[in-house]
Amino acid sequence: MVLRKISTLLLLVAVSLVGIAQDEITLEDIWRNGTYSQRSVYGVRSMADGIHYTTLDRTENGRVINKYSYKTGEQVEEILSASTLAKWLGEDDFSIEAYRFSDDEQFLLISTNVESIYRRSSMADFYVVDLKGKKARKLASGVKQRHATFSPDNKYIAFIQENNIFIQNYKTQATEMITKDGEQNKIIYGYADWVYEEEFAFSKAFFWSPDGKHIAYYRFDESEVKEFHMPLFNGLYPEDYTFKYPKAGEDNAKVTIELRDVEAQETSKLELGEYEYIPRIKWTNTGNHLAVMKMPRLQNVLEIDLINRKDLSRKNIYKEFSETYIEISDDLTFYGEDDGFIWRSEKDGYFHLYAYDINGENEQQLTSGNWEVGSFLGYDKKNAQLFFSASMENPMNTSIYSVGLDGGKPKRLSPAEGSSQADFSAGFQYFILYHSTANSPRKVTLNDAKGKEIRVLEDNQALRERLDEIKLPEVEFFTFTTSESVELNGWMIKPKDFDPNKKYPVLMFVYGGPGSQTVTNAMSGNHFWHQMLVQKGYIVVSVDNRGTGARGKAFRTQTYRQLGLMETKDQIEGAKWLGQQSYVDPARIGIWGWSYGGYMSSLCLFKGADVFSTAIAVAPVSNWRYYDSIYTERYMGLPQDNGSGYDDNSPINHVEKLEGNYLLIHGTADDNVHFQNAVEMVDGLIEADKQFDFYIYPDRNHGIYGGNTRYHLFSKMTNFISENL
C-alpha cells in the first residue's frame, strides 16, 4: 500500500513537471522544432481569368503545379507534375523550383537548380514547356540564365546569360543575342547592379512592351565603380569574391536605357537629359510610350518622362521637389487607354494617392488626412476602384482600403485592429488577406473585393492552441513624451507573474531606420524569442524613435543629414523613462538590434553609458562612410559635403565611451553591411582599450542563417543576456 502511494505521488510530480516544461518556450522549439512558426499561404498565382489560381504543391512524387478555384478552393486541374516533366525530357527525375506562364497560359517556363546571388537575384536552368504539345526542352545551353520572361504576344522569351540579353522565338528556337559587350564587373545588361538591387529593390531590369514588339532594358557601365573583395572560407584556399560596390561619395555605375525593336532588329539609346539614377521604367497600357523616372544623386527631385517609342521624343509629365529626399516605390500606375496615371506622394506632408491625366495635368488628390497610405495595391479599371493599405487609425495598425477614382471616403476592407496585407487576383474579384495582431498569429483568408470573407485558408490553429495552453503575457502598447516634447510609441511585454513592486531588468529591441517601424500591431519574427526572455524574468520593450514611418514626412525626415543623432536621443530617453518606472531596475537596461538596429544599439551603449549597461549589435554599420551610395546619400547627402554628419554619429567614433557589456556579431560574407564594419569597430575598441565580446559567422551573409546557424546565434545572444543583464 505504501509503495503504491509513493508511485502515485511520483507519477503526479512527473506529470506536474511535464506540464511546467511544456509551458516553457525553448530555443529548440523556436529554431529547431518550428513549434512557434507561423504558417502562411505562399506561391498563389492568379490566372488570367481572375477566378482561378495555381500553386506549386509538394507530393510524394515531387512537386506539382495545380489549378484551383478561388471561389471554392477546390482543385480543378493538374497543370504539370515533376514526374510528367521528367518523362517529357527523357530524364529519371526533375525538380520544379519555380514556374511562369506565358500570357496565353499555353506555355510554361520552369526553373530548376536555382542559385541565389544577392537579396533579390538568382540564376537557374530554365526549361520551356509546351502544355498542349506535351513536350519540353532546355531554354539554352551553357551557363545558367537569369530572369527568363515570355513576351506578351506569346512569341519570344527574353533572358540574360553572362551579362548579355538574348531573345528566343520559343516556337522555332531561333535565338538572337541583342547585346554584345556585357562583361562581369564591367557592363551589365538587363539586370540591376548590386546597389540598385539592394536600394531600389529590383533585380530584373528589362521590360516587354504590352504588344511584345519592343523591349526596354537597363545598361549599367560599372567600369569606374570600385571593387569590394570578400573572402569566402569554403575550401583549402579561401576564394576572393569580387563585386562592384559604390560606397558613399564614390563613383556609381553609369546607367542608360536602350530600346530594342524586336521585329526590325534595331536598338536605340534613349536621350534622357541630366540624371544620376533611373529607379524605375514602365510602359503605358498601350505601349506607345515608356515612362522613365529620373533622380539626381541627392534623390531630392523626381521626374517622370514619357518616351515615344516611334520617334523617341521625350516629354516630362511629372516633377516633384523635396527639401530632404523622395522615397521610391512601384506605385506608378497608368489607367485606361493611356488616359492618365496614379501616383503616391507625400507632397502635403503625408503619403497619399493622386491622379493625373497623361500629360501630368489636372491633378486630383484621391486620399487626404493626417495619416499615411502605406502602399498602393492596384487599380480595378472595370469598377474604377483603387486599393491601398494605410495606417488611418494610428501608426500601429494597418488596414486595406478601397476608394473610387473620383476620390471620396475610403472604405475599409479588413479589420481595424492589427496589421493587414493583401494580394489581389487578376481583375480584382478576390484578394488573399494576411492579418495578425501583436498577440494573435497570422490568419489568412480569401475575401471578395468588398472585403467579405469567403473562407479561411490558414488560421494557424495548432499554434493558437499552443498559445492558449501556455498563456503568454500580452504585448502592451504605450506612449511617452520625451524631454524635447516628442511623443513616441512603444510596446512592452511583462512577465506573466508581474509584480509592480519588484524591480525587473529590461531589454529594448531597436531598428529605428528611416521609414521603418518595430512598434506595429503584428506578431513579429522575434516575438517568441522575446517571450522566452520574458519567461526568464526580463521585460522586453521596443520604441519607435524619430525618423520612423507612418507618422508623416516631418516626423520621418527630422533625421536628415544626421542619422543616429535624434534616434539615439529618443532611445536613451526611452531607457530613462523606463528607469523611472517603479518596476524597472535602472541599472539593468540593455538594448539589441540587427543591421540599422545594430548600428543603433552600438551607438546607444556608447553614447548612453549612464542608462544602458548591455548591448548586442548584429551586423551593424559602424561608419556611414563604409555603406553604399544610394541609401547613405539619400539620408545623409554626400560625405564630401557633410563630413560631420557622417562622423559625429558613427559608432566607431565613440568607442572610447564604452562602459558596459558589448557583444558584436557579424557574418564574414555579408555583401550588404560588409564585415569591414566589424573589423574596423574591433580595431577601434582595441585602440580605446575596451573589453568586449566578438562573434563571427564564417561565410554567412547579412541574414546570418543556414543549417544550425540561427539556433547557435540566438543561443549565444540568450547566454550573453543571462550573464550580463
Active site residues: 595, 670, 702
CA proximity to 491, closest of 505, 480, 477: 477
Q: What is the DSSP string of 68-90?
A: EETTT--EEEEEEEHHHHHHHHT
CA dist., res. 245 & res. 194, Å (int)? 7
| Whole-number Å distance between alpha carbons of 425 and 429 | 6
The grid coordinates listed for 103 are 500570357
In the chain, the amino acid numbered 23 is D
Q: Is the dihedral of CA 593, 437, 709, 471 positive or negative?
A: positive
Which whole-number Å values give the CA distances from 617 to 202, 239, 516, 602, 705, in the listed order?
A: 28, 27, 18, 6, 16
Listed in sequence order, the residues at least 6 apart from 683 whose beta carbon sits closer than 8 Å to its beta carbon are: none
Q: Which of 206, 247, 203 is nearest to 228 (CA)?
A: 247
Q: What are phi and psi of 561, to 5 degrees?
A: 70, 5
| 676, 670 contact by CB (below 8 A) | no
Q: Which residue in 264, 268, 314 sits closest to 289, CA to CA? A: 314
Integer Cα distance of 389 and 397 in angstroms = 10
Residue of 282, 394, 268 whose CA lies nearest to 330: 282
Burial class (CB in 10 A: 0-12, 13-18, 19+), 430: buried
- How far apart (Å, rounded) are the C-alpha atoms in residues 304 and 678? 40
For residue 312 the three cell numbers come to 523617341
Strands (E), 565-707: 584-594, 614-618, 661-667, 693-697
Q: Is 457 exposed, middle or buried (0-12, 13-18, 19+ CB in 10 A)?
A: middle
Q: 724's torsion region: left (phi>0), alpha (psi -120 to 50) or beta?
A: alpha
- Intra-chain end-to-end CA distance of the chain, in Å: 50
Q: What is the CA radius of gyration of the chain?
A: 27
Q: How many CA atoms within 13 Å lie on the side-chain side of 715?
A: 10
Q: Cβ–Cβ contacts within 10 Å for residue 236, how many? A: 4
Contacts of 400 (CB under 8 A, 6+ apart): 377, 387, 388, 389, 412, 413, 414, 420, 421, 422, 431, 433, 451
One-character DSSP codes across 279-312:
--EEE-SSSSEEEEEEB-TT--EEEEEEEETTT-
